[in-house]
Amino acid sequence: MSRPRLLLGLAAVAVAFAAADTYVVVLALPDMMTGVGLSVEQLQKAAPILSGFLLGYVAMLPLIGRISDVRGRVPVLRAGLVVFAIGSLITALCYDLPSMVTGRFLQGLGGGALVPATLALVADLYPVDRRGVPLGVVSAVQEIGSVAGPLLGAVVLAVTDWRAIFVLNVLVGGLLALAIGRDRQSNRSNRVAVGEPPSRRPDWLGSALALLTVLAGALVCVEPGPILRDVTWGQLFVPVVGHGRWLTPLGLLTIAAGLGLLVRCLTARRPLVDVRGWARSARDADLLGATLLAVALGGVILAFATADPKVEVFSPQGRWYLLAATLAAVAFVVHLGRADNPLVPAGAVRRTPAWGAVVVSFFVGAALVAALIDIPLFARTTVYADSQLLAALVLVRFLLALPVGAVAGGLLLRRLPAGVITAVGMGLAAVSFWLMAQWGPDSLEHLVAATVPLVVGGFGFGLALAPVNAAVLATTDAAVHGLTSALVVVARMVGMLVGVSALTALGLRSYYAEQADLPAVREVCGGASRCDEFTDLLQVAAIAQEQTVFTGAAVVAGVAALLALVLFRGAPTRTVDTADAVRGVR
């Protein structure tokens, strides 16, 4: 295997592993809540575990993408994996909700950094006409990770504690970071290796301080019983003043070692972590602009991610989150006009296919979320009322078809326009949602009626992934590929958040309309809430809700198809343009 392919392969594996971690919490969340003192009934208090990950994944992506343009792809990939591993370690050792949220935030930050850097790496390593297949493969492995995540979580939880999931993350993340670092010479473009010194001597003092920080911090978090009960060593866990784990001798040692490591990294000539270099890169990438955009994105994320979709479009504090997001967005736009080196350089996405990819990605995400959430909900409402696992497994047919479509979309890019491929893919998605909207109470028991919409929908969404990325990479300068790739990912994630709230609100109208006869039925049942007629009417209302959501998602997917057909015109993603080929025949 050639070195560029090896580097891209390692980056793709890292993306897949981070994607798996995004979904691994689906099954592990109840145990994670118990691990930090929350009961299963306190699900709303666990919302920061999910929203913290999303904040790290989405809000900082534009800055990370821009840093990869300034500093290089390989350094960002390695740093992302290291941050992901650190976040996983904190999550594995956490003892309360704040420490778990901190760990999940760092996991999201590190995992999110891998996606735009890998997409931009494809553009660095391959010419425009050869990017289709690599982009399709990257999209495919990312979706394979989404399938593997819940399965991995189920396997780990079957044999051990939920913390083992995140210990595994630490090991794999560290090994991938080392492997990518060793393959430093594989890049054809100088941009990938910018900022990496040709050779480095080990920073033994920095390494010792880092090891001491990790070991002491782990003991503070875990508080192992044999040491804690020991007459002598147990004194290390007794607070010196006040109360709290970090005011113990061991906690203070951890803080001192961490501060010593920071000072070492700031002052040493060859530090373990080049903090000064990363700080310069952040300034060069427009840290202020990135902060304003992060606040704007964070406000949108919190407004929708902290809501209970069963009863509200966004959380009770959502209007304040959205107000803060609006103010930050206005300040960001003003800043872009005044900054010498803004986060989004003037004209970076001036071409229609470039900003069109961001718009299309938003609608793709808004439609996709209906499949990811409402297919299992429909299964739970109908044939798998007593099994959350079996209901979730219904989605596997959709998810398995998705990476197949992603690779097919990459292959088709060699001959067909990006807009046509995306439109066909989202058209298939719209058809699949329309078929799902016809599902009845027993539809999932019939193999053909259940499988065809799921496979067609998954294949259609997969088909659209590579062309969207190819369009933005083909119509933007190489100097901003990391940034623009990040914007496409952010748009899809924001689309998912907005889509789940909007489509759920639409579905609830049908749900409540179908419940109009419930009071009369309850009287017939003699006030009982569980007679057969009453239960059947509740199921009819729930099915009507999901059917409405699927219908709305079909419309959204259709809009994405039409937008792609119009906005991607002129994107030079193929070897030979169709018009040129026709003129050549003449």
Q: What is the CATH number of the domain that holds 43?
A: 1.20.1250.20
Calculate the CA 374 to chain-centre distance. 19
Which residue, among 161, 73, 175, 78, has the nearest Cα to 124 in the 3D structure? 73
Whether residue 310 lies inside any domain: the answer is: no
Of the CA atoms within 13 Å of residue 343, those in its CB half-sphere come to: 25
Judged against a pLDDT cut of 60, whether residue 199 lies above it is answered with: no
pLDDT given for residue 532 in this prediction: 54
pLDDT given for residue 578 in this prediction: 40
pLDDT given for residue 585 in this prediction: 33
Q: In whole angstroms, how large is the CA radius of gyration of the chain?
A: 25
Q: Are residues 457 and 424 in the same domain?
A: yes
Reported confidence tier of residue 51, pLDDT bands at 50, 70, 90: confident
Judged against a pLDDT cut of 90, whether residue 125 lies above it is answered with: no
Q: Are residues 542 and 413 in the same domain?
A: yes
Q: Are residues 368 and 493 in the same domain?
A: yes
Q: Are residues 71 and 33 in the same domain?
A: yes
Question: What are 19's two structure tokens?
Answer: 């994607």
CA–CA distance, 402 with 458 (Å, rounded to integer): 4
Whether residue 39 lies inside any domain: the answer is: yes
CA–CA distance, 18 with 94 (Å, rounded to integer): 20
pLDDT given for residue 188 in this prediction: 41
Per the CB < 8 A criterion, the answer to whether 114 and 185 are in contact is no
Judged against a pLDDT cut of 50, whether residue 197 lies above it is answered with: no
pLDDT given for residue 562 in this prediction: 97
Which residue, among 163, 257, 166, 152, has the nearest Cα to 212 in the 3D structure? 257
Q: Are residues 161 and 13 in the same domain?
A: yes
Whether residue 526 lies inside any domain: the answer is: yes
| Residues 556-573, mean pLDDT to the nearest whole number | 93
Split into its structural domains, the chain has a count of: 3
Q: Are residues 68 and 112 in the same domain?
A: yes
| Residues 447-476, mean pLDDT to the nearest whole number | 92
- Strands (DSSP E) contained in 389-499 are none
Q: Are residues 129 and 215 in the same domain?
A: no
Whether residue 413 lies inside any domain: the answer is: yes
Q: Are residues 215 and 151 in the same domain?
A: no
Final residue in a domain of this structure, among 147, 166, 192:
192
Whether residue 325 lies inside any domain: the answer is: no
CA–CA distance, 455 with 432 (Å, rounded to integer): 8
CA–CA distance, 177 with 503 (Å, rounded to integer): 40
Judged against a pLDDT cut of 60, whether residue 268 lies above it is answered with: yes
Q: Are residues 55 and 79 in the same domain?
A: yes
pLDDT given for residue 134 in this prediction: 87
- Domain residues for the domain of 149 are 1-192
Judged against a pLDDT cut of 70, whether residue 60 lies above it is answered with: yes
Question: What are 98's two structure tokens?
Answer: 């704040």
Q: What single letter denotes the amino acid at residue 546?
A: E
Final residue in a domain of this structure, among 192, 217, 245:
192
Question: What are 381's two structure tokens?
Answer: 């409402």
Per the CB < 8 A criterion, the answer to whether 167 and 91 are in contact is no
Whether residue 372 lies inside any domain: the answer is: yes
Q: Are residues 134 and 219 in the same domain?
A: no
Final residue in a domain of this structure, among 165, 192, 219:
192
Q: Are residues 187 and 238 in the same domain?
A: no
Whether residue 287 lies inside any domain: the answer is: no
Q: Could you give the 3-state DSSP secondary structure of residue 299?
A: helix
Q: Are residues 517 and 542 in the same domain?
A: yes
Whether residue 323 lies inside any domain: the answer is: no
Q: How far apart are the first and last CA of the chain?
A: 42
